[in-house]
Amino acid sequence: MRVSLTPAVFLTTARNLELRDAPVPEPAAGEVLIRVTAVGLCGSDAHWYEHGKIGDASVEGSLILGHEFAGVIESGPRAGERVAVDPAIPCEHCAYCRNGRANLCADLRFAGHGATDGALRGRLTWPERCLVPLPEGLSDEEGALLEPLGVALHSIDLASVDRSDSVGVFGAGPIGLLLVLALRAIGVEKVVVTDRLPHRLEAAMRVGASHAILATEDEHEREAVADAAEAGLAVAFDCAGTDPALHSALLSVRPGARVVLVGIPDRDRTSFLASVARRKELLLALCRRMMPGDLARAAGLVESGSVDLGGLVTDRYPLTEADQAFRALSLRRGLKVLVEP
């Protein structure tokens, strides 16, 4: 019997990607075959690529990365339908799943993580229950951005943001920019953004930030944030995943504020001055991906025009140039990097 093959990009060790053919999988019960059309590269993908690991998870043998993706169903009654894909496959049976906290499922499988291969390949199978139809007006490129937009929405929920809040976003990479878009969509007017890279600050202003401040990680930055926030920030999001960004966030918020850690630190460790957080009695939360339903919420916001994803993708590569795509991701010269299998 002839086996159908599909091209796939395998990470074998840090900074080593191999393009080779892999068998096209057969859908199991409840699954469909998907032709992948667009894959966004994420900061977590950069961790895998640069270090061969993320947190306490390491590459064992090889791993296909890619968890922000859209595609076209090729099997079953929904064949031909364009979809965005939830990369998380929860067990649906544990207490967390039953209580609506499936993102905390201990048996959850996630695309491009651990033993579960992701989307940097031509075709894959995925549970049909994890697919969200792409509205007519949304491109496949926008479909690949819905998962990180879902993470931004979950972060906002964790912080219980009110439209009257003054909000700080520390780190203006793709997640930070999507947070700005989502905050503006719910009516937040004062959104102060900091970053080390001027082109990201320019992008933050384009997508709706009220203030964009160069992250100098000294008193000048904190004074600029304080001037912009007036009475201090009510909410802050650390999207950089660095101790200096978190330190700036903690110093910039008012007493009783909420701070959400969204970024992933390089060395799987976050440190901050306890006295600063304690004396202000800050509420700290850490974001774990997104919640069930957030992908559909994200699609609805884009379809309604409340969120405009145009201009976020600055680099596009075919699957055969995945190595160049990851190098662009590591250099952070643009904004969002996309691979189009």
Question: Which pLDDT does position 219 carry in this prediction?
Answer: 79
For residue 327, list its beta bridge partners.
none
Q: Tell me which of 230 and 123 has the higher pLDDT.
A: 123
Within a domain: residue 154?
yes
For residue 273, give Cα distances in angstroms to 224, 250, 285.
21, 9, 16
For residue 84, list its beta bridge partners.
70, 132
Kindly state the average pLDDT of the residues 298-319: 96
Backbone angles phi, psi at 210, to 5 degrees: -85, -30
Q: Tell me which of 182 and 231 has the higher pLDDT.
A: 182
**Cα distance between residue 169 and residue 179, in whole Å:** 8
164 and 122 in one domain? no
Domains held by the chain: number: 2
For the chain, what is the mean pLDDT?
94
| pTM score above 0.85 | yes
Give the CATH number of the domain where residue 161 resides: 3.40.50.720
Assigned token pair, 73: 């169903």
What digits encode the pLDDT tens for the residues 97-122?
999 999 999 999 999 998 899 999 99
Within a domain: residue 222?
yes
**Residue 317 belongs to what domain range?**
5-145+309-340
> Burial code of 298-316, b = ≥16 C-beta within 10 A, e = fewer?
bbebbeeeebbbeebbebe
The contacts of residue 151 (CB under 8 Å, 6+ apart) are: 175, 178, 262, 287, 289, 290, 294
**Cα distance between residue 31 and residue 263, in whole Å:** 32
Give the CATH number of the domain where residue 29 resides: 3.90.180.10
**Cα distance between residue 84 and residue 150, in whole Å:** 11
Question: Which pLDDT does position 1 carry in this prediction?
Answer: 53
**Cα distance between residue 70 and residue 38, in whole Å:** 5
Question: Which pLDDT does position 114 carry in this prediction?
Answer: 87
